[in-house]
Structure 1
Amino acid sequence: MATKSKKKLSFPTAYTVLFIVLILAAVLTHVVPAGSYSKLLYDGEIDKFTVTHPDGSTEKFEGTQETLDKLGVKVNISKFKDGSIYKPVAIPDTYEKLESKPQGVVDVLQAPIKGVYETIDIIMFVFIIGGIIGILNNSGAFDAGFASLSRITKGKEFLLIIIVTFLIALGGTTFGLAEETIALYPILVPVFMVAGYDAIVCIAALYMGSSVGTMFSTVNPFSSVIASNAAGISFTNGIIFRGIGLLIATTITIIYIVKYAEKVKKDPSKSVIYDQKNYLEKKFLNQDKEIPEFTLRRKLMLLIFALSFGVMIWGVSSQGWWFMEMTSLFLAVGLIICFISGMGEKKAVKHFVAGAADLMGVALTVGIARSVNLIMDKGLISDTILNSATDLVQGINGGVFAILMLFVFLVLGFFIPSSSGLAVLSMPIMAPLADTVGLPRDVIVSAYQYGQGLMAFITPTGLILVTLSMVDVTYDRWLKFIMPLMGMIGGFAAIMLLAQAFL
């Protein structure tokens, strides 16, 4: 007699995880009291500050240092006038409770749609990259290039991990390289797999390189600079500690990844995604295909694509580029590659559209992740959480204060994953607390970076689920891989914070 086989339980997809978080955020708006700080925004065209009060009313003030001093915002006026601080800044001691705005079923259903609207710049970037990858895949350029690279690195594959992790960390610490790495996963995952590693190794090298780099930012304008400006200090304050931390944390990360990678290379069954081995090899390596010749045409296509990343880094780091400019760059590159491929217009368009379609799931993940923040903002609970955190850390011992601030920003990093958003919201409130316990304000800036950076390793509201969607790896596998490293980096960050506070 035939028996029914039990259905094997599996971890839910990124979409389900995010919807669960979205629902929990909506539930919090029913539990956490609503409230808001007054916000200050500078308008350079009229040289005035606009203060928006919790009740929605606004006031205009002269764009002077006297205005800032009067409002208790201990920041030099030049930081507003030169554009260093361009987002609304929370004004200390202005928190007010407001009428609760609980988010219901309709709000939860509308939030992902609004999230897609608000992240359309990132989504278009993803689609254009997907289109280019579709062309490169179907032209045989990737297959030929990967085969050539595997021959070059044979016997010293671990260098891939070291080089990629170090370079991405360098981008993270200097200009906040994060979202831009999305384009690299479909390209580098096959390279790492050909080298004998699993997809997790590539994810770790790219994602953790970016995360550690931004966590220990030195001159990153989107975290170190804007947070220091909002705290009323120079971004060079504490830069030596963060620089030392960057070198040591990157080294710890590389050693951890290399040890795991070599273990998997010797015994593939040790991989945390071993059961996906055949599926991922079929998806990324195209093993059923004959490896094409690495012709001049294919080399030229890959060279142009690689050079476009150099142009992107130059634009972001020195020309003020963001997603509009980056997407335009890759659209131009896509058109050039289509022409060079020799496919013809109809075939090129077909593969471009198919490549973009392959990343539709990634695009939706970006939008849903944003929806969580929209629900909390609409429910007016983000400022309440920040205000509760300030009450928690007031009047305690300096060393305990520093460590507690790390955990405070760890929690805030979940609710406010934007580095610049969290900086301008929290720094004017948190930085003065350091004065009360006799610590320099740069300790608060470092605590903010370490806490939010550490949370970025795992937070579903950040980039990790988008990253995992690119490679079809579930969240639970990532947690299994990353939690030991997260503990190591977290402990190290706490030590560095204490050293900065008392040395």
Structure 2
Amino acid sequence: MQYTLEKTNDKVKKKKKFKLPTAYTILLSIIVIIAIISHIVSGAKPASLADVVMAPMNGLKDAIDICLYVMLMGGFLNIINKTGALDAGIGSIVKKLNGKELLLIPILMFILSLGGTSFGMAEETLAFYALVTATMMAAGFDSLTAVATILLGAGCGVLGSTVNPFVVATSIDSLKSVGVSANQATVMGIGVALWLSSLSISIYFVMRYAKKVKQNKENSLLSEDEYNNAKEKFLNGKEETLEFTTKRKIVLSLFAISFIVMALGVIPWERFGITMFKNTDFLTGASFGNWWFSELAMWFVLMSIIIGIVYGFKEKEIVSYIIEGAADMVGVAFIIGISRGVSVIMSNTGLDAFVLNNASSSLRGMSPILFTNVSFLIYIGLSFLIPSTSGLSSVSMPIFGALAHTLGFAPELIISILGAGCGLVNLITPTSGVIMGGLAISKVDYGTWVKFSIKIIACIFVSSTIILSVGMMLL
């Protein structure tokens, strides 16, 4: 395959900069800091040495399903890679888009944002990092462009959740438990505004950066090590154009079907009144719409076997390729599990409940606009401590929603504030397994992502603050 990547003496300009420690060190440091804070805050249960030592392992146990999903997804991708179908397909796409490669960015970001706003697409995006990174680098961009396309695309959708059950449905159900009703149509209206505004901002910045990188690789924010690692992973040995044979086209079709089924499998159809998938539990024991990481993992194992047989691999080859691909993802799985350990130690020490209760008490007596903006800031802080949107809505909505209702404010706005706060934080927090896992796959350092995304996140924060404030005035 002939890539359009331009190089200066086969290197990217070496940038001397402060390098953050590895993702493992960052996450373990956060666990230690939380343990220290638990000894300072009155009312919290002080974390013991055993709590700190076992937090990563407890996090791994808590996230075992997603860790196995990521590893088995690695096996699936390795099978695809061995067929050469992806390389041939990417080469065909890049050739057809010659001169128009930038169009890949808004198209992919919008599609991913649809998944985010509709069913909270987050962990599922880990499956796309290798493919999109290879595509973007083949098109003349860098691996950071790929990360930004996926993370900001899906993330902006989650930030502006419209029917995302992990934010909207969970929050509405939590409010019902304390006798407060919320209008979902109102939540959807605010969600659309948050979604499209944040997505527009992100597309602008990502396209501007990608254009600069394509014109001159020295404009890349990647260090020399990052660039070389990404190049070795996604470009080396792929200079020759692979023929897009009929067999490879069939493999690529099965590849696409695999992801379509994945998306359909996790959308909670019954919550939307769609019951046609009610009796589809013959394959995994769970019906369509009720699949989660265990079912998804085995679905991709099944498709790995089918694709291997279709392409003509022998039984031993299929097994070895799956194991080889899973091994490549062990580091990513560890990062995801350790990041979950942060939430575990927060819960075990009671710091999450302490922060939640004190934060809600500080909101009483505020004007509507001040209430809105302070609530937004509080949810940003809470989202760092509790990265799970469904978990945060379950524990916080009965408190904050009920408080808003008592003060005469629209409870629907609190749902949107939760989605915006959690969505914003989950674009940058190191406690998110999606961020750290995606960066690890694409060979991008966390510090590089922070440097690139901080301006975008600041702009999204401002736009979200304006939309939420206007919403408070109108409701």
TM-score by length of 2: 0.88
Which amino acid counterpart does residue 474 of structure 1 have in structure 2?
D
Which amino acid counterpart does residue 93 of structure 2 have in structure 1?
L
- Runs of at least 4 residues of structure 1 off by over 4 A? none
Which amino acid counterpart does residue 451 of structure 1 have in structure 2?
G
- What is the aligned counterpart of 1:495 among 452, 455, 466? 466
> What pairs up with 1:52-67 in 2 under 5 angstroms?
none
Q: Residue 149 of structure 2 corresponds to which residue in structure 1?
A: 205
Q: Residue 125 of structure 1 corresponds to which residue in structure 2?
A: 69
Q: Which moved more, 1:186-195 or 1:232-241?
A: 232-241
- What is the aligned counterpart of 1:30 among 39, 47, 52? 39
Q: Residue 249 of structure 1 corresponds to which residue in structure 2?
A: 198
Deviations 1:203-239 (A, max 9, x none): 1111111111001000111101211232231322332
Which amino acid counterpart does residue 258 of structure 2 have in structure 1?
S
Query: 1:398·1:437 contact (CA, 8 Å) conserved in 2?
Result: no
User: How many angstroms does 1:165 deviate by?
Assistant: 0.3
- What is the aligned counterpart of 1:411 among 371, 381, 390? 381
| Mapped partners of 2:398, 2:238: distance in 1 | 58
Q: Residue 167 of structure 2 corresponds to which residue in structure 1?
A: 223
| Mapped partners of 1:9, 1:247: distance in 2 | 35
Call closer, same or farther: CA 1:333–1:288 in 2, change over 3 Å: closer
Q: Residue 70 of structure 1 corresponds to which residue in structure 2?
A: none
User: How many angstroms does 1:145 deviate by?
Assistant: 1.8
Q: Residue 49 of structure 1 corresponds to which residue in structure 2?
A: none
- What is the aligned counterpart of 1:389 among 348, 359, 378? 359
User: How many angstroms does 1:297 deviate by?
Assistant: 1.6
Q: Residue 124 of structure 2 corresponds to which residue in structure 1?
A: 180
| Mapped partners of 1:332, 1:375: distance in 2 | 36
Between the two proteins, what is the percent identity of the paired residues? 37
Query: 1:268·1:274 contact (CA, 8 Å) conserved in 2?
Result: no
User: How many angstroms does 1:197 deviate by?
Assistant: 0.8
Query: 1:132·1:334 contact (CA, 8 Å) conserved in 2?
Result: yes
User: How many angstroms does 1:433 deviate by?
Assistant: 2.0
Q: Residue 56 of structure 2 corresponds to which residue in structure 1?
A: 112
Query: 2:229·2:443 contact (CA, 8 Å) conserved in 1?
Result: no
State whether structure 2 residue 456 is matched by structure 1 residue 485: yes
Query: 2:143·2:443 contact (CA, 8 Å) conserved in 1?
Result: no
Deviations 1:344-402 (A, max 9, x none): 12222222211110010000011101111111111111111101101211111111010
State whether structure 2 residue 415 is matched by structure 1 residue 465: no
> What pairs up with 1:145-156 in 2 under 5 angstroms?
145-156=89-100
User: How many angstroms does 1:112 deviate by?
Assistant: 1.0
- What is the aligned counterpart of 2:208 among 259, 275, 298? 259
Q: Secondary structure at the match of 2:185?
A: coil
| Mapped partners of 1:353, 1:417: distance in 2 | 31
Which amino acid counterpart does residue 213 of structure 2 have in structure 1?
V
Q: Residue 12 of structure 2 corresponds to which residue in structure 1?
A: none
User: How many angstroms does 1:497 deviate by?
Assistant: 0.5
Call closer, same or farther: CA 1:442–1:331 in 2, change over 3 Å: same
Q: Secondary structure at the match of 1:460?
A: coil
| Mapped partners of 2:18, 2:184: distance in 1 | 49
User: How many angstroms does 1:9 deviate by?
Assistant: 6.0
| Mapped partners of 1:315, 1:439: distance in 2 | 37
| Mapped partners of 2:456, 2:327: distance in 1 | 34
Call closer, same or farther: CA 1:219–1:250 in 2, change over 3 Å: same
CA-based RMSD: 1.6
State whether structure 2 residue 422 is matched by structure 1 residue 452: yes
| Mapped partners of 2:258, 2:247: distance in 1 | 17
Q: Which moved more, 1:169-178 or 1:240-249?
A: 240-249
Query: 1:219·1:225 contact (CA, 8 Å) conserved in 2?
Result: yes
Deviations 1:299-328 (A, max 9, x none): 211210111111111111132221122112
State whether structure 2 residue 291 is matched by structure 1 residue 341: no
Which amino acid counterpart does residue 494 of structure 1 have in structure 2?
T
Q: Secondary structure at the match of 2:306?
A: helix
State whether structure 2 residue 107 is matched by structure 1 residue 163: yes
Query: 1:281·1:287 contact (CA, 8 Å) conserved in 2?
Result: no
| Mapped partners of 1:192, 1:140: distance in 2 | 17
Query: 2:194·2:420 contact (CA, 8 Å) conserved in 1?
Result: no
Q: Residue 72 of structure 1 corresponds to which residue in structure 2?
A: none
| Mapped partners of 2:86, 2:338: distance in 1 | 31
User: How many angstroms does 1:241 deviate by?
Assistant: 2.1
Q: Secondary structure at the match of 2:362?
A: helix
- What is the aligned counterpart of 1:101 among 41, 45, 52? 45
User: How many angstroms does 1:8 deviate by?
Assistant: 8.7
Q: Residue 81 of structure 2 corresponds to which residue in structure 1?
A: 137
Q: Secondary structure at the match of 1:238?
A: helix
Count of aligned residue pairs for this structure pair: 432
Structure 1 spans left out of the alignment, 5+ residues: 1-6, 35-99
Q: Which moved more, 1:374-383 or 1:357-366?
A: 374-383
| Mapped partners of 1:130, 1:207: distance in 2 | 19
Q: Residue 402 of structure 1 corresponds to which residue in structure 2?
A: 372
Q: Residue 190 of structure 1 corresponds to which residue in structure 2?
A: 134
| Mapped partners of 1:33, 1:381: distance in 2 | 10
Q: Secondary structure at the match of 2:184?
A: coil
- What is the aligned counterpart of 1:292 among 239, 242, 245? 242
Query: 1:186·1:470 contact (CA, 8 Å) conserved in 2?
Result: yes
| Mapped partners of 2:430, 2:383: distance in 1 | 11
Structure 2 spans left out of the alignment, 5+ residues: 1-15, 270-288
Call closer, same or farther: CA 1:8–1:434 in 2, change over 3 Å: closer
